[in-house]
Amino acid sequence: MVLSGLDWRSSRPWTVVGVAVVCLVAGVLTFTRDSRPAHADPTALPHTTVEVSASRCGRGWSAPVSGVQVFDLHNPTDGAAGVLLEDPGSQAVYGEVEDIGPGTTRELTVRLGKGAYAFKCVPDDADAVTGPTVRIAKGSSGPAAAPVTEHDLIPPALAYQKWVGNGLSDVVRLTTALRAAVDRGDLAAARTAWLPAHLEYERLGAAYDAFGDADGAINGTDAGLPGGVHDKDFTGFHRIEYGLWHGESAAGLRRPAAALLKAVTALRDEWAQARMDPAQLGLRAHEILENTVQFELTGRTDHGSGSSLATARANLDGTVEVMSRLHPLLATRYPDLPALESELKRAGTVLDRFRHGGAWTPLAKLGHRQREDVDAVLGDLVERLASVAALCDPRRTV
């Protein structure tokens, strides 16, 4: 899919920058790009200025108190640094701020209670340094989670990459059937073959960045192209979709169908040498459905087939697959994991109501209440999966 002439899957940075704290939402650890919990007014909370530097990491926290509070993290050095507030024994993280620039101060808002705490300063160009341990005698802390390292993410990433390879083989097989139908001039069969091939590709959502330019050729839209749907650079599944549902002849579709099959075959053959970045796996679990809400549920990617809800279901399947790989890491870090997995199943049930054999209800045919149900369940999942992205963001510990 294309946004402003760029593939939307690579138009956003795949990093969580400036992530800060931890806020208690339904008892789970939630990291957000904002540096404070929504319920906290930082002007009414106690503030403590803490130094972020290799020589004086954590200095300034000399009068510890329990409860929700703000740490003003000041970096007096000439290089950027990140900070973790952690349990010095277990290294469970209570809060984090990344990329504190030279000479700047950033806020970290946390709820602290009985326990031991220490700031860990992580300069960009030096080893991590742990500051002095501070103890609080009473009160209840907010949630914490053991940090995930890139090493932890390698096994699930390798398993997922192998699954993607199998999926690409299925994409090639199904696209071969699509091309054959076009070549013999059977447009009804081509319309029937188009959807399974496209959905099989859509299930591979967490791998799109690793596909590189191939994804634009395979699954790009006409967005940003000067000629729109008639532009010579409009290719792939959506180019064929447009032709199949807008009366184009089989002769006109033969070249796009051949090009699509060539592209997916090349991607399948090259995938064995590809290497996914393990650090992106958790973030992709969130981004798949975030983009589903932004593009599929707005109809921006529908070029005539009315299959947006089918694509949303395939995206959900892809998210479930990623989550199955991450489950062992999240089981001990994310208390709300059972509720999230239950919500994933519920979302599948909601979407499946609109499947009728091999056909799906178009978005425009949904009733008001039906549309609300779809938006609500997927919107809730996007919110929950933001915590997965944050928890699986690898952290330097040395």
Tell me if residue 306 falls in helix, strand or coil. coil
Q: How confident is the model at residue 1 (pLDDT cuts 50, 70, 90)?
A: very low
Nearest to 178 by CA among 270, 259, 271: 259
Is the pLDDT confidence value at 366 over 60? yes
CATH top-level class of 157-391 = mainly alpha
Per residue in 280-298, pLDDT tens? 899 999 999 999 999 999 9
Instruction: Report the candidate in 94, 88, 99 with the shortest Cα–Cα distance to residue 71.
Output: 94
239 pLDDT more than 60: yes
- DSSP conformation letters of 111-163: EE-SEEEEEEEEETTS--EE---EEE-SS-----BPPP-HHHHHHHHHHHHHH
Q: DSSP state, 233? A: T
| Span 52-104, pLDDT tens digits | 999 999 999 999 999 999 999 999 999 999 999 999 988 888 888 989 999 99
Q: Where are the alpha helices (DSSP H) in the chain?
A: 150-183, 187-202, 208-211, 213-219, 236-244, 250-271, 281-291, 308-330, 337-352, 368-391
| Structural domain spans, the chain | 20-136, 157-391
Taking residues 5-10, report their average pLDDT.
29
31 confidence band (pLDDT: 50, 70, 90): very low
Give percent above pLDDT 90 in the chain.
Answer: 72
Pairwise CA distance, residues 118 & 115, whole Å? 10
- Report the range out of 202-216, 302-316, 329-343 with the highest average pLDDT: 302-316
DSSP state of 61: -
Nearest to 295 by CA among 363, 215, 393: 363
Q: What pLDDT is recorded for position 41?
A: 59
Judge contact between 134 and 61, C-beta under 8 A: yes
CATH architecture of 20-136: Sandwich (2.60)
The tokens for 286 are: 């969130």
Q: Amino acid identity, residue 209?
A: D
